[in-house]
Amino acid sequence: RKEVEQDPGPFNVPEGATVAFNCTYSNSASQSFFWYRQDCRKEPKLLMSVYSSGNEDGRFTAQLNRASQYISLLIRDSKLSDSATYLCVVNRDDKIIFGKGTRLHILP
């Protein structure tokens, strides 16, 4: 089993809809969590950190469920510009583990 797993998608979602996807991690010693977005043929960019109590940044909400060992990302009122691949990143000690990403297509 991979240490960090994501549904590769693609998720095809109409503009304006709400979409959510999860990332599961296998090591309970994982300590910090992040979501990155990566546009086609570009570098990943930090979207948001994920805090234990959950956190929100505009239309984006991230949550952590330590009991079930997953993090989630919810996007409300999706825009065409939200189309990208969303990477889940988990830190454990000095190790940084990337998920392979979930592709999201927002449809006009």
Partner 1 sequence: DGGITQSPKYLFRKEGQNVTLSCEQNLNHDAMYWYRQDPGQGLRLIYYSQIVNDFQKGDIAEGYSVSREKKESFPLTVTSAQKNPTAFYLCASSESTGRHSPLHFGNGTRLTVT
For binding to partner 1 (CB under 8 A), which residues are involved? Answer: 31-32, 34, 41-46, 49, 87, 89, 91-94, 96, 98-101
Q: How far is the CB of 33 from partner 1 (least distance, A)?
A: 10
d(CA 55, CA 12): 25
Q: CB 45 → partner 1: shortest distance, Å?
A: 7
Of residues 8 and 14, the one with the C-beta less far from partner 1: 8
Residue 18 or 52: which CB sits closer to partner 1? 52
Question: How far is it, in rounded angstroms, from Cα 98 to Cα 83?
Answer: 19
Q: How far is the CB of 14 from partner 1 (least distance, A)?
A: 25
Residues in the chain, total: 108
Question: b/e string for 63-76 if b means 16 or more Cβ within 10 A?
Answer: bbeeeeebbbbebe
